[in-house]
Amino acid sequence: MTDVLILGGTGWLSGRVAERWLDAGASVTCLARGGRPVPYGARAVVADRDAADAYDAVAGRTWDEVVDVSSRAAHVTAAAAALTSSARHITYVSSVSAYARDDEPGADENAQLADPAAPDDAYDYAREKSAAEAAVQAGFAHRAAVVRPGLIVGPGDPTDRFGYWVARFAGTAGAPVLIPDAPDARAQVIDVDDLAGFIVAVGRAGFVGTANAVGDAVPLAEMLRVAREVAAHTGALVAADPEWLVAQGVEYWAGPRSLPLWLPADMPGFATRSNARYRLLGGALRPLRDTLVRTLVDERERGLDRPRAAGLSRDEELALIAALRPA
């Protein structure tokens, strides 16, 4: 039986990875803080990754596969040091945000990474991921796979970014919806279950190397069109000039008072990364419509009108539309 150690296993993505390994017949152990349950069938090891003895309970056992998703370089560095002699292979889940630049459309895995974070530096996600990758590569040499996902989407998404659009279209029916007037904007997503399957597949194969785990880049307008169709939205689309939106305090990409997935024009490479290697390795990419359908089911279950971590509230949106369409 394959022995798998998930450093995590209780979060959105890592929990799905653990489930996939269990479905494959593996013996799965999840090392986590213990605040949430591990998937049924997995063994839980409660540990604080900030503690010096975090890996004592798992370091003495031989692991066929280790999966780490942490965005804290210190956690990844300590895990690599503790497990390098007992793990046959590791898969580290990094991010396309680890790259130094976002201005080159179609860039592949050879693009330059951000400068690795030093231990005393202020937290910076890109530099932490870069430093974590370096720690994994140094500790495991020719036993490491590094997977760099783009925007992970689908049911259960805790960030509320992708689901904002299909939920807003579904919740407004025939009423207007505000969108950015950005015809050149692109979107590039990967379904959480496609990603989880890929992480397990590279672990089972013992793949060594790096791979961007991203979907095909599509115009943001096309993604919104499909989201409208899935949600059966019949209202008007109110397109606002990007400069006007910024002047009104509307944020890019994510967070409160934002239009999710919308990016500044000077970042043409962020949503257009190459996925050629992912496809070559057999990575699955389900149709965007299928992911939107799955996401809408989840959004309805969670509540279309619930407070969200990303996007405009409906009141904020209506106020902006009114400002664009004075009576």
pLDDT surpasses 80 at 30: yes
Rounded Cα distance, 107 and 221, in Å:
22
- Domain with residue 28: its CATH number is 3.40.50.720
Strand extents, DSSP E, the chain: 3-7, 27-32, 43-46, 65-68, 90-93, 144-149, 151-153, 177-180, 186-187, 189-191, 209-213, 218-219, 237-240, 251-253, 258-260
Same domain assignment for residues 125 and 238: no
One domain for residues 53 and 81: yes
- pLDDT for 125-137, tens place per residue? 999 999 999 999 9
- 162 and 303 in a common domain: yes
Q: Look at residue 194 in the predicted model and tell me its pLDDT.
A: 98
Regarding whether 170 and 142 lie in a shared domain, the answer is no
Residues 303 and 182 in one domain: yes
195 belongs to a structural domain: no
Q: Nearest-CA neighbor of 77 among 112, 114, 100, 50? A: 50
pLDDT band of 188, cuts 50, 70, 90: very high
Please tell me whether residues 164 and 313 are part of one structural domain: yes
> Do 250 and 299 have their domain in common?
yes
- 297-319 pLDDT, tens per residue? 999 999 999 999 999 999 999 99
Residues 191, 154: contact at Cβ < 8 Å?
Answer: yes
* Structural domain range at position 160: 156-188+218-268+287-324
- Residue percentage of the chain with pLDDT more than 70: 100
Per-residue model confidence as pLDDT tens digits over 195-249: 999 999 999 999 999 999 999 999 999 999 999 999 999 999 999 999 999 999 9
Residues 20 and 109 in one domain: yes
Residues 78 and 169 in one domain: no
Q: How many residues does the chain have?
A: 327
> Residue 179 falls within a domain, yes or no?
yes
Instruction: Pull the structure tokens for residue 248.
Output: 């009104």
